[in-house]
A = this chain, B = another copy of it.
Amino acid sequence: MSNNILRIGVIGVGRLGFHHARNIRRSEGAALTAVSDPFPEARERAAKEFGVQSYSSHADLIADPNVDALVIATPTQTHYEVLTAAIAGKKPIFCEKPITYTLEEAEKIVDSIEKDGVFLQVGFMRRFDPGHAAAKRMIEGGECGKPIYVHDCQRDPNGPPPAYVPQSGGIFVDMAIHDLDAARWLMGSEVVEIYAQGAVLKHEYLKELGDIDDGQILLTFASGALGMIEISRNANDVYDTRTEVVGLEKSVFVGQNQLTPYAIVGAGRIVVDMANWCLGRFKEGYELEMRAFIDAVRGNKPSPVTAYDGMVGLKLALAATESWRKAAPVKLTYRAGGSG
């Protein structure tokens, strides 16, 4: 670090990487010093907007002595390769979800991280959303009593671009991974059985791409608790995510119905607006996860969302995919010991 400012390079500056770059630029105690992207257009747009060094190759960015820490926001298929190089570079890493494309890759990354003692934080931004964070504090503080049920939905406003679908991992890996992570985190217990269904209900083009636009997942936790997750790409131009945990004494509900504190009244109706994309709903979550990354790295604190969390999230999403494909429940086991 220079002058105690954490100099960060962002690998992959598509929509989300660019958003992270902007949040880094705005964060105290940190500076954006480089970006990389194999696509010249993305790379040059970011270099111009932020006035920083740009590379076509992530290897060059990782090797840049003016880069203290890395943010990885490339397509998921490349995560394993980029993460491996980043871990070898011994620089602290923030990596978007899913941590890797396959479970085998994820397990190798977990092992490398643990062996090499590299810092890695996975991009489960909901954990930093003020609503989810308040719910977690309340559950951990005992105000709810033992958590016994989780009810969650996530609805995208529309179908994904067709070109994105093959690299997305499917709706369970692309979307439900957030809900699955939030569920196990809030419940404080691992999922031991998953049953999932799904269908194409709106976007016919997904059929030939082998994906669906609606999924429903049932969960059983090691604690005996149950849960239910609905995911869809059918929400008619709103982005709607809600998470509830029922405890033995109280329930806590995290939602977001109204975006702007503003209502139009007339003709017997009240009209309010609502977030229409994920980056709008979780604006603060994205800012605060980057804030947490910077603070943890500067302060030598442990990662708030570990590689193991990233691996388990992927494992659950893949189990949901498998359950959907074979139309039967899938049981999950976890290797013994520590965080793994």
Binding site for B on A (CB under 8 A): 3, 22, 25-28, 51, 129-131, 134-135, 138, 143, 148-149, 151, 153, 155, 195, 197-199, 201-202, 214, 216, 218, 220, 224-228, 230, 232, 234-238, 240, 246-258, 260-274, 276, 327, 329
Contacts and interface: CB of A to CB of B under 8 A. Distances in A.
B255 A236 contact: no
B264 A252 contact: yes
Contact of A236 (B51, B130, B199, B266): B266
Nearest to A22: B28
B264 A250 contact: yes
A230 B152 CA distance: 11
A246 B252 CA distance: 24
A136 to B, nearest CB: 10
21 contacts: A26-B26, A130-B261, A131-B261, A143-B264, A148-B201, A148-B202, A198-B226, A202-B248, A214-B226, A216-B218, A235-B246, A237-B267, A238-B251, A238-B270, A249-B266, A251-B264, A251-B266, A252-B262, A257-B270, A270-B272, A327-B329
A237 B268 contact: yes
B269 A271 contact: yes
A253 B240 CA distance: 12
Given A197-B218, A262-B131, A263-B253, A276 B271 contact: no
A185 B53 CA distance: 44
A269 B266 contact: no
A267 B143 CA distance: 13
Nearest to A256: B261
A322 B260 CA distance: 36
